[in-house]
Amino acid sequence: MTASSITPLKPNEIAGKNDGDYAYNAARVPLRLADSDKPEVKKTLDKMLMFFEKQPVIYGGYTLKGKPLVKNQSNSFSAPILYATKGDKNFSNLYASQRWIFNYAIVGKDYYGDTLKVLVLLKLY
């Protein structure tokens, strides 16, 4: 990462084969970008949200070419996306589609996803 560019990691550089993909280590990115007031950050976030808005279902990870890594939904990915759409009328449909995370109780089997879900709930309300 430099002041003007970001380069994806190579597989197995940090945690595993999905390093360099939009996988668990990157799931928090929309949440973190959403709290910035910098125009260049907003531009990056909007690009991400436009991609997600086009997806019929938000899956738990993607290659950087847009191919799903898995075929299941995850609080770990949907919660940060939900938060990133807060108050942005351009992404009201995406906001509505990701509110599914609040329809299910926390059962304690997904520490990472449950933590992001609670964090987003606290930040939104």
**How confident is the model over 93-120, as pLDDT tens digits?**
999 999 999 999 998 999 999 999 999 9
pLDDT for 43-63, tens place per residue?
Answer: 999 999 999 999 999 999 999
pLDDT for 60-89, tens place per residue?
Answer: 999 999 999 999 999 999 999 999 999 999
- For every residue of 26-92, DSSP letters joined together read GTTHHHHHHT---HHHHHHHHHHHHHHHT-SS--S-B-TTS-BS-SS--HHHHHHHHHHTTT-GGGH
Of 10, 84, 24, nearest to 60 by C-alpha is: 24
Cα 86 from Cα 62, distance rounded (Å):
22
Q: Are 53 and 94 in contact (CB under 8 A)?
A: yes
